[in-house]
């Protein structure tokens, strides 16, 4: 997978370079599985674009409009390599959650209201792949029952299978571009959401149930935003009549609860 090709080599090279390191109890690897809850904190960042023939050329903007990503849940897996008793490298993977994008505000063109995004609580959905590589510092002895940790790293976000609500096309057809004015038979084109890289910070703790098994919990924040590009095409002229883009601010807080095993 494209996303893993970015982070896995980094993780493997880092581990290879530290192959001689060891912990006091000889257990250098850990794996945990659990539940990830994603809570985006971003707000609508505006929609900007331009019109194309046969419309008069203009540059419509809707600074208060856009899309806001909704909360989501998914399963997660964390793979750890302990450099020593206190320092670890971690790769975080998860089943890609289906993220919902809610519409906000009005989109206008040529001085007319084209689309009221407020009518669409689920304007679009997308699968989000977000592998994350972090370095962590664990406080206390490796034999302590309770071990808090802090960490920082990089998240790579890849968005695929973007699908828009079919009601958007109905709204466009009933807008000034369609039956209520120009009669251009407007329809929404394919939506593209750009990949993004974001810094991540995390705070968490492990609780050692036995010498091998542990429970873990963490909260992380990623400063993540991306851009979505979309066209409105005309079924009458078979051309693009309106193109636009919007920054999607995500900035998620992510909580994790899991059960792990060290070996």
pLDDT at 21: 54
Angle at the Cα of 100 from the Cα atoms of 178 and 251, rounded to 5 degrees: 120
User: At residue 115, what are phi and psi to the nearest 5 degrees?
Assistant: -150, 130
- Locus of tokens 């009221």: 116
Domains of the chain, residue spans: 2-262
CATH fold for domain 2-262: Porin (2.40.160)
List pLDDT tens digits, range 32-77.
999 999 999 999 999 998 999 888 888 888 888 999 999 999 999 9
Predicted structure pTM score:
0.86
List pLDDT tens digits, range 232-259.
999 888 899 999 999 999 999 999 999 9
pLDDT at 162: 93
pLDDT at 221: 98
Segments of the chain scoring below 70 in pLDDT = 1-21
Q: Which of 156, 31, 35 is nearest to 81 (CA)?
A: 31
């Amino acid at each position: 997978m494209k996303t893993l090709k970015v982070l896995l080599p980094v993780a493997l090279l880092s581990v290879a370079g530290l192959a001689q390191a060891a912990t006091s109890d000889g257990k250098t690897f850990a794996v945990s599985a659990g539940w990830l809850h994603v809570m985006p904190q971003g707000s609508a960042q505006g929609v900007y674009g331009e019109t194309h023939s046969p419309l008069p050329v203009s540059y419509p903007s809707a600074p208060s409009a856009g899309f806001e990503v909704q909360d989501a849940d998914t399963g997660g897996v964390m793979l750890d390599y302990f450099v020593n008793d206190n320092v670890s490298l971690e790769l975080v993977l998860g089943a890609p959650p289906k993220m919902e994008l809610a519409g906000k505000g009005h989109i206008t063109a040529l001085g007319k209201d084209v689309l009221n995004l407020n009518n669409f609580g689920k304007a679009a959905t997308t699968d989000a792949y977000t592998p994350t590589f972090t370095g962590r510092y664990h406080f206390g002895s490796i034999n302590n029952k309770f071990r808090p940790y802090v960490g920082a790293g990089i998240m790579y976000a890849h968005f695929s299978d973007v699908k828009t609500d079919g009601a958007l096309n109905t709204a466009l057809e009933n807008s000034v571009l369609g039956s209520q004015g120009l009669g251009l038979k407007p329809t929404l084109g394919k939506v593209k959401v750009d990949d993004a890289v974001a810094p991540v910070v995390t705070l968490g703790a492990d609780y050692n149930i036995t010498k091998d098994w542990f429970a873990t919990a963490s909260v992380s924040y990623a400063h993540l935003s991306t851009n979505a590009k979309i066209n409105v095409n005309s079924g009458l002229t078979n051309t693009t009549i309106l193109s636009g883009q919007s920054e999607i601010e995500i900035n998620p807080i992510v909580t994790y609860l899991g059960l792990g095993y060290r070996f």
